Structure formats: C-alpha cells, structure tokens
Amino acid sequence: MRTLITGGAGFIGSHLCERFLAEGHAVVCVDNFITGRPDNVRHLVDNPKFRVIVHDVSRPLHVDGLLDNVLHFASPASPVDYQKSPIQTLKVGSLGTHVALGIAKAHGARYLIASTSEVYGDPEVHPQTEDYWGHVNPVGERSMYDESKRFAEAMTMAYHREHNVQTHIVRIFNTFGERMRLDDGRVLPNFVGQAFRGEPLTVYGDGSQTRSFCYVSDLVDGIYRLLHSDYHLPVNLGNPGEMTILEFAEEILRLTGSHSRIVHRPLPADDPKQRKPDISLARRLLGWEPQVSREEGLRRTIEHYKKKLGK
C-alpha cells in the first residue's frame, strides 16, 4: 500500500505518517512547511518507505507510481496561523483540495479530507451532530478557515458524486498531543507555554466557553478506520468530554505544577461559545471512541514539552 499525506509534516500529519508506516504502507508526505516543521518528521526520514516532497499543494502536482490512499491534511489550522495567511488558507482548502482530489481520481485511490468542527461555526445545536448545517459568519475573522473547509467538503462530495471517487470527510474537533507548536496560538500550547514560563495564563472572556479535547492517537485511529469504511458523508471525530476553558486552565496549572495566575482578556470575534462532538455516528459506523483520557493525554503532551524545553 502507498499513501500520500498532504500536510504530513504538521502536528496531526506527522502522527498519520507514523501510523501508516507502522501499518506497513509506503508514505509520501507533501508539505510546504508554512506551519509544519521538518523536525516533526525527522525521525522518519531514514525509513526507506518514507518520502518527503516539499511542495505547495495549491499548485499542480504529479505523483509517480501507484497510490492507494490520498489524505488531504494540508491547511493552516490554528486561528493565529490562518489569520496570518488568509489567502493561503482559502487556496489550500479550495485549489489544494482540487489538486488532492485530482490525484486520488487519477490513481483510483481512496481519499480522505480533514475538515473541522469549525464548519458548525458558533453552533446553535449542542452537541453538534453531522446533520447540523452550521452557523458560520461568511465574512468574519475566521471565515477564511471555516469557509475554505466548507468549500472543501462540497468539492469532495462533488468528486464522489460526479467521478465516483471513494471519498471520506472527517470533521475533527480540538485535538492535542505531542508536536503541536508551542507558539501556534491554540489554547493548550498557549497555557502550557505560559505555565512553564511562569507567566499568567490568558483566558479569553470569563472562561465559561466550553471545548472538548481529543488525544491525537485516538483521532488517528478514527481516521484510519474511516478511510477503510464505505461511508462518504462527514463523520465527527473528537472527545465528547466537555469542560470550560477556565477549568482547562486550572487543570494545566495542576499538571504542570505551575503557580501562574489566570488573567482574563476580551473574547475574540466569532469565538464559539460551546463545542462538543456528538460521536454516535463514529461509534456506530466505526466502533470508535476515544481510549486515552484527557488527563493521560495531557500528561504525555506536557512530558514531551518538558523534554523539548529541557525542563
């Protein structure tokens, strides 16, 4: 088996590369390092079954040889990253998705796209089920990400319906783990970085907004199962354990042993108030549910950061 992973040098992509190599696949990682790092896949480069192509997937790409699977994960993913590169984000969700689907079609490969819980916007339905169409501001400060993913889902379904490509769509809810960049602006690396530096933890608003956090190995397992299923409509993957951001800050302080304070800052525009996946479909379809508790996942992630920072 040979699998192409766009965004393979990113946080989730690098874990996917590891998993597919472990399953015996040859893996082609395509990345332009806009938010990913060579470091994330350095431990894989001596494996003869692993190849990196440095390329912007929003531009045409031809891949020689057979391909069984195409996983399209390339996209800036944190608000800090996608707001810094709004046009690149829209391009990789539209042109990049078109390129990746074209490769899958040409090779007769299965295709899976990383979509996001952000397609639900600031949801009026809680928890979010796949049949909810969302509440997205199409011109807001997150629109470059939310709308590019919504377009990507539409393009994926069009390739399935018109060209019969075996496509899959995963709507990923907040996922965390080793190799997230400490400066990527997402809540977990923010809090951990601040806790380690002894700085106050920044909570936006009063911290009553909720999130649910899934450990990366669970997500990767769900993706692997979905890719091999015959289901083509979107599937939520995430951990339904919900907590407020304030509770999360307190948990990070406890697990890092930090004495940092918590400070409050104004809530950014269009910040969703609630986020929790309904994973009934994934349970039924894939026999999947998270296995690693949030606390265990956090311990592993904090340990990784400690080693990295020599703490």
Ligand X SMILES: NC(=O)c1ccc[n+]([C@@H]2O[C@H](COP(=O)([O-])OP(=O)(O)OC[C@H]3O[C@@H](n4cnc5c(N)ncnc54)[C@H](O)[C@@H]3O)[C@@H](O)[C@H]2O)c1
Point out which residues bind ligand X (CB under 6 A): 6-7, 9-13, 30-36, 56-58, 73-77, 81, 92, 96, 114, 116, 172, 174-175
Nearer to ligand X, 25 or 91 (CB): 91
Nearer to ligand X, 85 or 229 (CB): 85
CB of 116: closest distance to ligand X in angstroms? 4
Contacts of 190 (CB under 8 A, 6+ apart): 201, 202
CB of 126: closest distance to ligand X in angstroms? 18
Helix axes 245-256, 294-309, angle to 10 degrees: 50
Nearer to ligand X, 109 or 220 (CB): 220
CB of 171: closest distance to ligand X in angstroms? 8
Looking at 76-169, list the stretches that DSSP marks H as alpha helix, in order from N- to C-terminal side.
79-84, 86-107, 143-163
The one catalytic residue among 111, 145, 215, 305: 145
CB of 295: closest distance to ligand X in angstroms? 18
CB of 70: closest distance to ligand X in angstroms? 13
Nearer to ligand X, 220 or 246 (CB): 220
How far is it, in rounded angstroms, from Cα 169 to Cα 114? 6
- Answer whether the bond into residue 234 is a cis peptide, omega within 30°: no
Q: Is 135 helix (H, G, I), strand (E, B) or coil?
A: strand
Q: What is the greatest pairwise CA distance in the chain? A: 57
Q: Is 115 helix (H, G, I), strand (E, B) or coil?
A: strand
Nearer to ligand X, 107 or 149 (CB): 149
How far is it, in rounded angstroms, from Cα 19 to Cα 13? 10
Of 119, 139, 137, 172, which is closest to residue 10 (Cα–Cα)? 172
How far is it, in rounded angstroms, from Cα 152 to Cα 57? 14
82: annotated active-site residue:
no
Cα torsion through 244, 193, 184, 167, rounded to 10: -60
Q: Which residues are known to be catalytic?
A: 145
